[in-house]
Amino acid sequence: MHREVIEPPIDDAPNQLLVRVIARAKRDEVGGERAGRLVVRTMAAPVDGRANAAVCRLVAAHLGVPVRQITIVSGQRSRDKVLLIER
């Protein structure tokens, strides 16, 4: 199975990543683009920060950085989020 590598959209600010979260998805995955944002699907429910934690974990794995370097700077309670990637 061939999967196209999708470059994540980066905001004008350095090291910021725009994401669109789909919670309660059938599987965890990072890929695709919707409205100029990287799509992150997670099986986690958006309850008690579970989906946010899953998004950080998935994006970190996708980018090859430790989870501690991913921070949600905007959109804690929204599907559209801005993540800060510290490198």
Residue 6 in domain: no
Q: How many domains does the chain have?
A: 1
Q: What is this structure's pTM? A: 0.82
Residue 64 in domain: yes
Residue 39 in domain: yes
Determine whether 84 is exposed, middle or buried from the number of CB atoms within 10 Å of its CB (0-12, 13-18, 19+): middle
Whether residue 28 is predicted with pLDDT greater than 90 in this model: the reply is yes
Task: Dump pLDDT digits (tens) for 10-25.
Answer: 555 568 999 999 999 9
* Full residue range of the structural domain in which residue 62 is found: 16-85
Give the lowest-confidence range in 12-16, 28-32, 67-71.
12-16
Residue 76 in domain: yes
Residue 31 in domain: yes
Task: Dump pLDDT digits (tens) for 47-59.
Answer: 999 999 999 999 9
Judged by DSSP in three states, 60 sits in: helix
> What is the pLDDT, as a whole number, of residue 1?
47
Cβ neighbour number for residue 46 with a 10 Å cutoff: 17
The enclosing domain of 64 has a CATH number of 3.30.1200.10
Residue 43 in domain: yes
